[in-house]
Amino acid sequence: MYEAQKPKKIYDKKSAKVKIEQYCAYQERSQQEVRDKLYDMGLHQKEVEELISELVVDNFLNEERFAITYARGKFRIKHWGKNKIKQNLKLKKVSEYCIKKALKEIDPEEYYKVLKTELQKKSDKLKDKDPFIRKNKIAQYLGSRGFEMDLVWDLLGSE
C-alpha cells in the first residue's frame, strides 16, 4: 500500500531563517538549492528572495564559494572531468562567471594525472584485443566522465 505523506510543516519567515541558516552552515549550497528549500517550507516569493539576500549579506550563502567547493569535491572524490562538473553546476543554476572561476581552481597537472589514471583503470578492465575498439570504448567512457575529448584522444594517441 501507499504510505501517507506527512504534511509539510509551514514555516513563518523568522523560523524559516533559523532553519535555513542551519541548512547553509552544514555544507555549501547553491542559491537555487536554498530557494527550493524555502519554497518547500511554504514561503512566498517575496519572503524567499528577502531571505536569500539576508543569507548572502550574512555570508551563509556564497555562489562563488559553492561553485569552487563543488568543483573541487567532484573532481577529487568522484574524478569527474570539467565538462561534467560544468554541466552539473549549470543544472544548479550557478552563474557562468562562478563556473569559470571554479574550473580554474582545478590544477592542470593534477587533472591530467587523474585523466591518465582513469584511462589506465578502464583499459585494465577491457577484454577486447582490437586496439581500435579498445580506444573507442576508453574514449567513450572518459567522455561520459566529463573529460574533454581532445585531451582524451591526445592521450590515447600517445599510447
We report the CATH number of the domain holding residue 36 as: 1.10.10
Cβ atoms 51, 16 nearer than 8 A? yes
Whether residue 150 is found in the same domain as residue 119: yes
Whether residue 49 is found in the same domain as residue 79: no
Whether the per-residue pLDDT at 5 is higher than 80: the answer is no
Please report which residue ranges of 4-148 form alpha helices under DSSP H: 13-26, 31-40, 45-57, 63-78, 82-91, 96-104, 108-125, 131-144
End-to-end Cα, the chain, rounded Å: 57
What percent of the chain shows pLDDT beyond 70?
A: 94
CA distance 104 to 92: 19
- Give the total residue count for the chain: 159
Distance from CA of residue 151 to its chain's centroid? 21
Question: Is residue 115 situated within a structural domain?
Answer: yes
Supply the range of the domain harboring residue 24. 13-61
Looking at every residue in the chain, the average pLDDT score rounds to: 92
Whether residue 112 is found in the same domain as residue 153: yes
Please give the tally of structural domains in the chain: 3
Average pLDDT over residues 123-129: 90
Whether residue 128 is found in the same domain as residue 153: yes
Whether the per-residue pLDDT at 30 is higher than 90: the answer is yes
Question: Is residue 141 situated within a structural domain?
Answer: yes
pTM: 0.87
Question: Is residue 3 situated within a structural domain?
Answer: no
**Which pLDDT value is given to residue 82?**
97
Average pLDDT over residues 66-80: 96
Whether residue 115 is found in the same domain as residue 151: yes
Q: Which three cell numbers stand for residue 14?
A: 523568522
